[in-house]
A and B are shown apart, each in its own frame.
Chain A
Protein backbone atom coordinates (compact mmCIF):
# COMPACT_ATOMS: atom_id res chain seq x y z
CA UNK A 1 0.00 0.00 0.00
CA UNK A 2 1.74 3.10 -1.28
CA UNK A 3 -0.57 5.39 0.73
CA UNK A 4 -0.26 8.00 -2.04
CA UNK A 5 -1.90 8.35 -5.43
CA UNK A 6 -0.15 9.77 -8.48
CA UNK A 7 -0.94 9.83 -12.21
CA UNK A 8 0.84 7.07 -14.09
CA UNK A 9 2.40 9.42 -16.60
CA UNK A 10 2.68 13.06 -17.62
CA UNK A 11 4.21 14.96 -20.48
CA UNK A 12 5.79 18.36 -20.56
CA UNK A 13 7.52 20.54 -23.11
CA UNK A 14 11.09 21.52 -22.51
CA UNK A 15 11.57 24.79 -20.61
CA UNK A 16 7.97 24.86 -19.43
CA UNK A 17 6.90 24.43 -15.81
CA UNK A 18 5.70 21.03 -14.67
CA UNK A 19 3.25 20.39 -11.85
CA UNK A 20 3.26 16.82 -10.58
CA UNK A 21 0.29 16.09 -8.29
CA UNK A 22 0.05 13.66 -5.40
CA UNK A 23 -2.88 12.73 -3.20
CA UNK A 24 -2.30 11.51 0.35
CA UNK A 25 -5.72 11.82 1.90
CA UNK A 26 -4.94 9.59 4.91
CA UNK A 27 -1.83 11.47 5.94
CA UNK A 28 -1.28 11.92 9.67
CA UNK A 29 -0.14 15.08 11.35
CA UNK A 30 3.45 13.92 11.74
CA UNK A 31 3.95 12.45 8.28
CA UNK A 32 6.41 14.23 6.03
CA UNK A 33 5.85 14.33 2.28
CA UNK A 34 8.90 13.25 0.31
CA UNK A 35 9.60 13.36 -3.39
CA UNK A 36 12.20 11.29 -5.18
CA UNK A 37 12.97 10.76 -8.81
CA UNK A 38 14.59 7.88 -10.61
CA UNK A 39 16.37 8.13 -13.90
CA UNK A 40 16.70 4.96 -16.00
CA UNK A 41 19.15 2.43 -14.56
CA UNK A 42 19.91 4.60 -11.53
CA UNK A 43 18.91 4.61 -7.90
CA UNK A 44 16.27 7.08 -6.73
CA UNK A 45 17.43 10.60 -6.06
CA UNK A 46 16.04 12.74 -3.27
CA UNK A 47 14.27 15.82 -4.59
CA UNK A 48 12.52 17.60 -1.74
CA UNK A 49 10.46 17.04 1.38
CA UNK A 50 8.18 19.05 3.62
CA UNK A 51 5.69 18.88 6.45
CA UNK A 52 3.26 21.79 6.28
CA UNK A 53 4.81 24.81 4.64
CA UNK A 54 5.76 25.11 1.01
CA UNK A 55 9.41 24.31 0.40
CA UNK A 56 11.91 25.39 -2.22
CA UNK A 57 15.34 24.10 -3.11
CA UNK A 58 17.62 24.22 -6.10
CA UNK A 59 15.84 21.32 -7.76
CA UNK A 60 12.16 22.04 -7.24
CA UNK A 61 9.38 23.50 -5.15
CA UNK A 62 6.88 21.60 -3.06
CA UNK A 63 3.42 23.05 -2.58
CA UNK A 64 1.44 21.41 0.21
CA UNK A 65 -2.31 21.90 0.46
CA UNK A 66 -3.60 23.53 3.60
CA UNK A 67 -5.36 20.32 4.68
CA UNK A 68 -2.19 18.35 3.73
CA UNK A 69 -4.22 15.82 1.79
CA UNK A 70 -2.44 16.64 -1.43
CA UNK A 71 0.78 18.16 -2.65
CA UNK A 72 2.36 19.26 -5.90
CA UNK A 73 5.96 19.03 -7.00
CA UNK A 74 6.85 21.93 -9.23
CA UNK A 75 9.71 21.88 -11.69
CA UNK A 76 10.01 25.47 -12.78
CA UNK A 77 11.64 24.85 -16.15
CA UNK A 78 11.67 21.28 -17.34
CA UNK A 79 14.77 20.04 -19.12
CA UNK A 80 15.35 16.80 -20.97
CA UNK A 81 17.34 15.62 -17.96
CA UNK A 82 14.22 15.88 -15.81
CA UNK A 83 12.63 12.96 -17.64
CA UNK A 84 12.29 10.35 -14.91
CA UNK A 85 9.86 8.50 -12.67
CA UNK A 86 8.80 10.75 -9.80
CA UNK A 87 7.74 9.18 -6.52
CA UNK A 88 5.65 10.87 -3.87
CA UNK A 89 5.99 9.24 -0.46
CA UNK A 90 4.53 9.97 2.93
CA UNK A 91 6.82 9.07 5.77
CA UNK A 92 6.06 9.28 9.43
CA UNK A 93 7.96 8.58 12.61
CA UNK A 94 8.75 4.90 12.80
CA UNK A 95 7.35 4.20 9.36
CA UNK A 96 9.43 3.07 6.44
CA UNK A 97 8.94 4.58 3.02
CA UNK A 98 6.63 2.85 0.58
CA UNK A 99 7.48 3.56 -3.03
CA UNK A 100 4.48 3.27 -5.30
CA UNK A 101 4.64 3.12 -9.11
CA UNK A 102 5.19 6.90 -9.32
CA UNK A 103 4.61 9.23 -12.27
CA UNK A 104 6.66 8.78 -15.41
CA UNK A 105 7.48 12.26 -16.70
CA UNK A 106 8.35 12.66 -20.36
CA UNK A 107 9.91 15.93 -21.51
CA UNK A 108 9.47 16.81 -25.15
CA UNK A 109 12.06 18.94 -26.94
Chain B
Protein backbone atom coordinates (compact mmCIF):
# COMPACT_ATOMS: atom_id res chain seq x y z
CA UNK B 1 0.00 0.00 0.00
CA UNK B 2 1.02 3.59 -0.52
CA UNK B 3 2.16 5.82 2.30
CA UNK B 4 3.22 9.43 2.50
CA UNK B 5 5.62 10.82 5.07
CA UNK B 6 6.14 14.43 6.04
CA UNK B 7 8.54 15.83 8.55
CA UNK B 8 8.96 17.50 10.87
CA UNK B 9 5.51 17.62 12.45
CA UNK B 10 6.13 21.01 14.03
CA UNK B 11 8.77 23.62 13.45
CA UNK B 12 9.54 26.98 15.02
CA UNK B 13 11.85 29.21 13.03
CA UNK B 14 13.02 32.83 13.37
CA UNK B 15 12.25 35.37 10.67
CA UNK B 16 14.94 35.38 8.01
CA UNK B 17 16.04 31.80 8.59
CA UNK B 18 16.02 29.16 5.83
CA UNK B 19 13.46 26.36 5.55
CA UNK B 20 13.46 22.84 4.24
CA UNK B 21 10.43 20.56 4.53
CA UNK B 22 10.57 17.08 3.09
CA UNK B 23 7.90 14.76 1.82
CA UNK B 24 8.33 11.21 0.57
CA UNK B 25 5.89 8.74 -0.91
CA UNK B 26 6.23 4.97 -0.82
CA UNK B 27 4.48 2.23 -2.73
CA UNK B 28 3.84 4.03 -6.01
CA UNK B 29 5.80 5.25 -9.02
CA UNK B 30 5.72 8.61 -10.78
CA UNK B 31 3.08 10.14 -8.54
CA UNK B 32 1.82 13.68 -8.92
CA UNK B 33 3.05 15.58 -5.86
CA UNK B 34 1.62 18.71 -4.24
CA UNK B 35 2.49 21.25 -1.56
CA UNK B 36 -0.37 23.14 0.10
CA UNK B 37 -0.43 25.75 2.83
CA UNK B 38 -3.29 26.36 5.23
CA UNK B 39 -3.36 29.54 7.30
CA UNK B 40 -5.11 29.31 10.65
CA UNK B 41 -8.86 28.88 10.17
CA UNK B 42 -8.62 29.05 6.39
CA UNK B 43 -8.88 26.71 3.42
CA UNK B 44 -5.99 25.05 1.62
CA UNK B 45 -3.91 26.99 -0.88
CA UNK B 46 -2.01 25.06 -3.52
CA UNK B 47 1.61 26.25 -3.62
CA UNK B 48 3.38 23.86 -5.99
CA UNK B 49 2.73 20.68 -7.89
CA UNK B 50 4.93 18.28 -9.80
CA UNK B 51 4.13 15.69 -12.43
CA UNK B 52 7.66 14.28 -12.60
CA UNK B 53 11.28 14.57 -11.51
CA UNK B 54 12.54 18.11 -11.93
CA UNK B 55 9.12 19.35 -13.11
CA UNK B 56 7.71 21.98 -10.78
CA UNK B 57 4.77 24.28 -11.33
CA UNK B 58 4.13 27.22 -9.03
CA UNK B 59 0.60 28.34 -8.33
CA UNK B 60 1.31 31.35 -6.14
CA UNK B 61 4.31 33.70 -6.35
CA UNK B 62 6.11 33.89 -3.02
CA UNK B 63 9.48 33.43 -1.38
CA UNK B 64 9.08 29.66 -1.32
CA UNK B 65 10.43 27.16 -3.81
CA UNK B 66 9.98 23.45 -4.41
CA UNK B 67 12.17 20.73 -5.82
CA UNK B 68 11.71 17.10 -6.78
CA UNK B 69 15.16 15.51 -6.82
CA UNK B 70 13.82 11.96 -6.89
CA UNK B 71 10.63 10.37 -8.17
CA UNK B 72 9.01 10.12 -4.75
CA UNK B 73 10.63 13.00 -2.92
CA UNK B 74 9.26 16.53 -2.81
CA UNK B 75 10.98 19.34 -0.92
CA UNK B 76 9.67 22.77 0.03
CA UNK B 77 12.31 25.41 0.71
CA UNK B 78 12.87 29.03 1.52
CA UNK B 79 16.06 31.04 1.77
CA UNK B 80 14.60 33.61 4.17
CA UNK B 81 11.34 33.05 6.02
CA UNK B 82 8.79 35.81 6.51
CA UNK B 83 6.23 36.10 9.30
CA UNK B 84 3.54 35.49 6.69
CA UNK B 85 5.00 32.05 5.97
CA UNK B 86 3.51 30.70 9.18
CA UNK B 87 0.92 28.01 8.62
CA UNK B 88 0.14 24.37 8.24
CA UNK B 89 2.03 22.86 5.29
CA UNK B 90 0.63 19.76 3.67
CA UNK B 91 2.11 17.43 1.10
CA UNK B 92 -0.12 15.23 -1.04
CA UNK B 93 0.17 12.75 -3.89
CA UNK B 94 -2.14 11.39 -6.55
CA UNK B 95 -1.96 8.96 -9.43
CA UNK B 96 -3.22 11.61 -11.88
CA UNK B 97 -4.12 15.25 -11.51
CA UNK B 98 -7.89 14.58 -11.50
CA UNK B 99 -7.74 11.59 -9.20
CA UNK B 100 -8.04 11.55 -5.38
CA UNK B 101 -5.20 13.12 -3.48
CA UNK B 102 -3.74 11.54 -0.37
CA UNK B 103 -2.34 13.86 2.24
CA UNK B 104 0.43 13.63 4.77
CA UNK B 105 0.03 14.63 8.38
CA UNK B 106 1.39 18.11 7.75
CA UNK B 107 4.00 20.39 9.28
CA UNK B 108 2.90 23.19 11.53
CA UNK B 109 5.34 26.05 10.97
CA UNK B 110 5.55 28.99 13.34
CA UNK B 111 7.70 31.98 12.53
CA UNK B 112 8.96 34.11 15.40
Contacts and interface: CB of A to CB of B under 8 A. Distances in A.
Contact of A94 (B97, B104, B108): B97
A100 B43 contact: yes
Interface of A is mostly: loop
B26 interface: no
Interface string A1-24: 010000000000000000000000
Contacts of B88: 41
Interface residues of A, number: 26
A42 B106 contact: yes
Interface of A: 2, 30-32, 34, 36, 41-46, 49, 87, 91-102
Given A44-B90, A95-B97, A102-B43, 16 more contacts: A31-B98, A41-B108, A42-B105, A43-B90, A43-B105, A43-B106, A46-B100, A46-B101, A49-B100, A91-B97, A93-B98, A96-B97, A97-B101, A99-B43, A99-B46, A101-B42
A49 B106 CA distance: 23
A97 B103 CA distance: 13
